[in-house]
Amino acid sequence: MTKKEIFLTAAFKENSIWRQILGICSALAVTNLMMNSLIMGLGVIFSLALANFSISIIRFWTPRSVRMMVQTLIIAAYVIIVDIFLKANMPEISKQLGPYVGLIITNCILMGRAEAFASQNNPLDSMVDGIGAGVGYTLVLLVISFFRELFGFGSVFGIKVFGAWWTNWSIMVMAPSAFFLLAILIWIINTHYYKVKA
The count of other CB atoms within 10 Å of the CB of residue 73 is 12
Question: Which of 19, 42, 62, 123 lies at the binding interface for other proteins (CB under 8 A)?
Answer: 62
Question: Which of 80, 105, 108, 111 lies at the binding interface for other proteins (CB under 8 A)?
Answer: 80
Q: Which residues of 127-160 are buried (b: 16+ CB within 10 A; e: fewer)?
A: bbbbbbbbbbbbbbbebbbbbbbbbbbbbbeeee
Rounded CA-CA distance 92/24 in Å is 27
Helix (H, G, I), strand (E, B) or coil at 160: strand
Q: 3-state DSSP: the chain helix, strand, coil percent, rounded to 5?
A: 75, 0, 25
**Is 63 or 163 the residue whose CB approaches other proteins more closely?**
63
- Closest separation between CB of residue 101 and other proteins, Å? 12
- Closest separation between CB of residue 77 and other proteins, Å? 4
User: Following DSSP, what letter does each residue of 5-71 receive, concatenated?
Assistant: HHHHIIIIIT-TTTTT--SHHHHHHSTTSHHHHHHHHHHHHHHHHHHHHHHHHTTTT--GGGHHHHH
**Piece of the chain touching other proteins by CB under 8 A; list 66-74, 106-114, 132-140, 155-163:** 66-74
Question: Which of 1, 21, 25, 66 lies at the binding interface for other proteins (CB under 8 A)?
Answer: 66
Site string for other proteins, 127-146 (x = CB under 8 A): --------------------
- Closest separation between CB of residue 147 and other proteins, Å? 14
- Closest separation between CB of residue 115 and other proteins, Å? 17
88 near other proteins, judged by CB under 8 A: yes
The residue ranges that bind other proteins (CB under 8 A) are 30, 32-33, 36, 58, 61-66, 69-70, 73-74, 77, 80-81, 84-85, 87-89, 91, 99-100, 167-168, 170, 173-174
